[in-house]
Structure 1
């Protein structure tokens, strides 16, 4: 089936980028692998792509399709006009500047697998061991990783991924380097073992302006901050993700209900967003995540290390999946900015009002005091 649009991002020109199935998954362009492969297809061939990329320009009311060798879903736009996607053990991207100049999908796209410098020579060399093979100290090692949620650390340009599986507990860092894919390098980080409640089920990931990477854990209900600058070493010769236990700070909101006779919560964190512009008044770089099953968003205030619930009491059944901060007028204080979200349930007839009820867009604004005008 074609179509199935999803996962929207808006670029600096006001165009809407989204995922779209424009062809069969197995009908890959020739440059994705095999005899006609380009440098990316030769380095790490892509056999199928379940979804591709499209954009819509409201000014011209025209759609454009961008065929990709890699599958796409959630995205992150960078300040240098790349849009990144996580896909099947790799990170892919569309260079929007190149697309605008050429409208050539092959020239505008690329991807990196996750290969760790396990032999410690400071570079990645082809002929690495594969995920189902033991680590060889003389070679580098490729790892599989989940990338349902993706973030760009604007401080150093690195790309960060977290998965969606209930057993996943890995953050993956990809560095493109100056000449990808040959200069692509990966690091993986997992929380130190021995926690009172094991951290499992990574979820939404985001990086703040200081390079701290936050993750909202879907299964165990933790919330973590990972600061790579605290690492004594990032060398990982065993590819086990335990090179930097000192980088982790682990939180857990204990004010939420749990299932009977269980430490696990009835809520589930979804995608994570960074309020870099302080649209909600809790300070710059406040992470906000969608807290499904709770009629609310959850905000973490780094300065106080407190969780703050932003609940929607009416209409009932606000089911958050994502959100985004927006500043319309920086000169009008709280009135000129806000945090936007939506009723994102698949079953909109469960929204208060019943049959015929439609999803709704929400704008959260925070007054500095209750009587502020």
Structure 2
């Protein structure tokens, strides 16, 4: 295999070979067995077989656009299995190459495909994942921190360290759209003429309906500090500077990957998440539809039937006609959409989850934010923590009845996960820390009574500083810790994950890069007790020294919590390894069990000038394959590496990189795994996700690009049918 990192030294030779590589030489048929529904063959370049490159087959003949992607084996052979009857365009993509010519084919054919070597290092780098480009961004040096109002580097006081700077870039910029994508790293001339690139960046951050959030992030970073660095980054790229590192081709079991992709949604729509099954039982909804959550972009929920290849839309209702819409957000003109506000979402449909009956639950806005009086006064939980606002509530869609039920909640909702208890309690995170509470819905009680107020509750996060295991009298979130008392912590779950082991709920609170509060990111272990509003206790655990920026949480079958860190790590936390005391003053900081953590550095480059123990890679969330739905083993954690445009599965001590190479700019926020047929081996199972970027038009395909439903499967070898 020709390594991508050897490309620069071979440019003169490759340029000549590229001219000669218009077609593959005549060869005997490869030793590839295919059936009538498969495509197979070999990929060769001027130097022979091309191993570890992708073969992409795409068709527009089905009700929605469909594509399938596989990887070649060590001899350059491939099999694309189980294709629907249609006409396909088939081509080769890989590191060290540019895209080959498209071949026309139908299932049942054997193809000889000619790879096209990249004529230059610049041409090859166009196919690198975005992290290789955005790692070129120069950071303020470590000695420029902490920020202050008098800082000559113009870094505000809220940024205490270079880690806070990186955390903000990753969790408030990269988490919404891919910084390294072609459109972001190469600003459009249509933005206008500017005296400097710093002014250009000031203008481009005022584009679209996300401009207020971008302005807030820029204010936190400090415009005088951040804008020149972004301008310098794109100026250097425009001048021809290339990434200082290069990716490797898929190897080993990474070549067993089969990717299926379907278009869904509408061109201006973006998706936050998708769901295919019940997290607790992946056999639910076998072969059934996939549901998406369009967040602020639309009130239309996309639905895909992956068997018939049909995508459709269903409208999410709201209860109160005064429910605000994202259409009213401040907006600047866009080079893609002009002055048109492309988002019009009243329901703010953030996150879906499926129950054991195949019903789909959403965190969704159904009314204006001001809470009714009982949330502040008479509700049993209000006597502990009165709530004046709820920015997002709940809904559930029943596919059999094709009906919606809207559920008002006093607490704000963000992510949602079902517990393993007999009440099938739905636990919900709040996202932002303002309320400092965790909410839940007893779905069994709600199903029996329809009483939305009586079926819900919430609790403050009370750190058990006394170590008693029971809630003691506590001080408020803005008061210092006191001996003999617990403490209400002004944190809120962003990620939430009930443990399969029992009555423990794990949560994760965002750090300063997202919450804009002077608190570190945390893992939080919540023990609800008999009456959670009054009995729930919490333990806080802060990532160890040198790491930072937890985002998302999931729990394996052993009760071990996993999260991803903005420092460029997948992190494992095992409370059973704690050797010291879990009470006292240190318990308020979460610094009391460093031995419980194990860090795994993400593959890929690191920003120059940053701690080399970390990575520039950023993952939006983490999911643990408790049921082995992918085929890499039980309890394998999977990180959504949206810089590397891949899923990163940790198998043992090694990451398996499952890159989605088409369309470039793949960006996932979460996955789930489903088993459609337990007897069908690898063909009966797989992971499901969707494009999660807020700007599909920044990626390959441009303005007309639709979000994708993505299914990933691992077969036993690269030629398995």
Same fold flag (TM > 0.5)? yes
User: How much has 1:120 moved relative to structure 2?
Assistant: 4.1
Instruction: Note if contact 1:164-1:203 (Cα within 8 Å) is conserved in structure 2.
Output: yes
What TM-score, normalized to structure 1?
A: 0.92
Measure the CA separation in 1 of the matches of 2:438 and 2:662: 39
1:277 corresponds in structure 2 to: 627
What TM-score, normalized to structure 2?
A: 0.49
Describe the shift of the 1:117–1:317 C-alpha distance in structure 2 as closer, same or farther (beyond 3 A): closer
* Residue 213 (1) aligns with residue 561 (2): yes
Q: Deviations over 1:264-297 (max 9, x none)?
A: 6443111111111212221101111211132211
User: How much has 1:71 moved relative to structure 2?
Assistant: 0.3
Measure the CA separation in 1 of the matches of 2:468 and 2:633: 42
Describe the shift of the 1:135–1:328 C-alpha distance in structure 2 as closer, same or farther (beyond 3 A): same
1:366 corresponds in structure 2 to: 714
Measure the CA separation in 1 of the matches of 2:470 and 2:617: 42
Describe the shift of the 1:121–1:159 C-alpha distance in structure 2 as closer, same or farther (beyond 3 A): closer
* Residue 104 (1) aligns with residue 447 (2): no
Quick check: which one's helix share is greater?
A: 2
Of structures 1 and 2, the larger Rg is shown by: 2
Measure the CA separation in 2 of the matches of 1:51 and 1:221: 30
Instruction: Note if contact 1:281-1:366 (Cα within 8 Å) is conserved in structure 2.
Output: yes
1:309 corresponds in structure 2 to: 657
2:411 corresponds in structure 1 to: 70
Instruction: Note if contact 2:389-2:411 (Cα within 8 Å) is conserved in structure 1.
Output: yes
* Residue 43 (1) aligns with residue 384 (2): yes
Measure the CA separation in 1 of the matches of 2:582 and 2:609: 41
112-121 or 202-211, which deviates more: 112-121
1:353 corresponds in structure 2 to: 701
Instruction: Note if contact 2:466-2:472 (Cα within 8 Å) is conserved in structure 1.
Output: no
* Residue 6 (1) aligns with residue 355 (2): no
Summarize the alignment of residues 1-373 of structure 1 with structure 2, pairs less than 5 Å apart.
1=324, 2-26=346-370, 28-34=371-377, 37-80=378-421, 81-87=424-430, 88-126=435-473, 128-165=474-511, 166=513, 168-193=520-545, 198-217=546-565, 219-233=566-580, 235-238=582-585, 239-253=588-602, 255-263=603-611, 265-301=615-651, 304-373=652-721
Q: Alignment partner of 2:388: what SS?
A: coil
Instruction: Note if contact 1:272-1:290 (Cα within 8 Å) is conserved in structure 2.
Output: yes
Measure the CA separation in 1 of the matches of 2:669 and 2:418: 18
Q: Deviations over 1:170-221 (max 9, x none)?
A: 111111111222211111112343xxxx21111121110001101111x211
Alignment gaps of 5+ in structure 1 = none
User: How much has 1:251 moved relative to structure 2?
Assistant: 2.0
User: How much has 1:112 moved relative to structure 2?
Assistant: 1.6
Q: What is the total number of aligned residue pairs between the two structures?
A: 361
Q: Deviations over 1:65-113 (max 9, x none)?
A: 1111110011212233222112232211111111111111111111121
306-315 or 256-265, which deviates more: 256-265
Measure the CA separation in 2 of the matches of 1:359 and 1:51: 24
Instruction: Note if contact 1:277-1:327 (Cα within 8 Å) is conserved in structure 2.
Output: no
Q: Alignment partner of 1:204: what SS?
A: strand
Measure the CA separation in 1 of the matches of 2:572 and 2:466: 28
Instruction: Note if contact 2:495-2:553 (Cα within 8 Å) is conserved in structure 1.
Output: yes
User: How much has 1:116 moved relative to structure 2?
Assistant: 2.2
Instruction: Note if contact 1:163-1:201 (Cα within 8 Å) is conserved in structure 2.
Output: no
Measure the CA separation in 1 of the matches of 2:660 and 2:647: 9
User: How much has 1:160 moved relative to structure 2?
Assistant: 1.2
202-211 or 149-158, which deviates more: 149-158
Instruction: Note if contact 1:204-1:269 (Cα within 8 Å) is conserved in structure 2.
Output: no
User: How much has 1:146 moved relative to structure 2?
Assistant: 3.8
Describe the shift of the 1:231–1:265 C-alpha distance in structure 2 as closer, same or farther (beyond 3 A): closer
Using CA pairs under 8 Å that are at least 6 residues apart, name the structure with larger relative contact order, 1 or 2.
Answer: 2
Measure the CA separation in 2 of the matches of 1:136 and 1:12: 45
Instruction: Note if contact 1:187-1:234 (Cα within 8 Å) is conserved in structure 2.
Output: no
RMSD, aligned CA:
1.7
Q: Deviations over 1:26-46 (max 9, x none)?
A: 2x1333122xx2221101111
Q: Deviations over 1:212-260 (max 9, x none)?
A: 101111x21122111112223553211221332321222212x311223
Alignment gaps of 5+ in structure 2 = 1-323, 325-345, 514-518
Measure the CA separation in 1 of the matches of 2:598 and 2:615: 20
Instruction: Note if contact 1:170-1:190 (Cα within 8 Å) is conserved in structure 2.
Output: yes
Describe the shift of the 1:319–1:191 C-alpha distance in structure 2 as closer, same or farther (beyond 3 A): closer
Instruction: Note if contact 1:145-1:172 (Cα within 8 Å) is conserved in structure 2.
Output: no
User: How much has 1:309 moved relative to structure 2?
Assistant: 0.9
Instruction: Note if contact 1:169-1:199 (Cα within 8 Å) is conserved in structure 2.
Output: no
Quick check: which one's strand share is greater?
A: 1
Measure the CA separation in 1 of the matches of 2:702 and 2:427: 38
